Amino acid sequence: MNHQGNNQDAPKRIYMLSGLGCDRSNIESLERALTALANYQIKYLNLPGQFDNRYIKIQDKDALGQWLQRQIPPRSMVMGYSLGADLLLDHVDRLSPDRMIILDGAIITQDFMNTTIEEELAFTRQYIRANHLDMDSDTISTLLKIKFNADCDLFDRALQVPTLLLLADSPEALLDYKRAKVECHRHQTMIKSHFIANTSHDFHTEKPKEIAKAIHDFLSHEG
């Protein structure tokens, strides 16, 4: 008798690509807050090469794109955090999402970092070894190379996908850089940008309810 109501109560699935070194426990508070608002469900995808996806080998950008397409159906709601956001953005045309949510990523390019790929890879490999992380350093290095070679932020993409960009407001030097980019591209109507006050890069663990509300408001808005 309540079949229609049951359909309305079906979870709204968001496919999320993780950040480097982040497992599913990293987003549990955010998912609880989203579920409380409108029964959202996060389908959490660890990066290839880490944790439960440690043994997935990625050799190049095309292989990553094929893997993402197997995980994420077209016209889905997608979300990426940090490195996961950069990699989602690099494959947005291939994935054809309905909506995209960027959590403190896809905005920093080499004009700020000013490092070489060799330096990035050496640091990452050393960090994985020193902390005995459950990661495959070769696959993680490939993902970093893909990001480095793209060297492109979301404002450079001429996005045709409604996109929510949520950003932490510290550290100060990085905040100034982010603000300058956001202000310079206010005319891009496909991108809605919002800074979460008094937060660090792990802001979705610090203010999950505020971030969940911003996501819900964005996904609930038609047009």
Residue with tokens 């819900």: 216
Domains of the chain by range and CATH?
11-220 (3.40.50.1820)
- Is residue 54's pLDDT more than 90? yes
Q: Using pLDDT thresholds of 50, 70 and 90, give the confidence band for residue 9.
A: confident
Q: Using pLDDT thresholds of 50, 70 and 90, give the confidence band for residue 222.
A: low
- Is residue 220's pLDDT more than 50? yes
- Is residue 1's pLDDT more than 60? no
Q: Is the dihedral of CA 148, 154, 159, 164 positive or negative?
A: positive
pLDDT, mean over the chain: 94
* Mean predicted confidence (pLDDT) in 23-43: 96
pLDDT digits (tens, 9 = 90+) for 129-180: 998 999 999 999 999 999 999 999 999 999 999 999 999 999 998 999 999 9
pLDDT recorded at residue 221 = 85
SS3 assignment, position 58: coil
Instruction: HSE, CB side, 13 Å, CA atoms: give it for residue 220.
Output: 11
**With contact defined as beta carbons under 8 Å apart, do 27 and 204 qualify?**
yes
pLDDT digits (tens, 9 = 90+) for 189-207: 999 999 999 999 999 999 9
- Is residue 122's pLDDT more than 60? yes
- Is residue 6's pLDDT more than 70? no
pLDDT recorded at residue 152 = 93
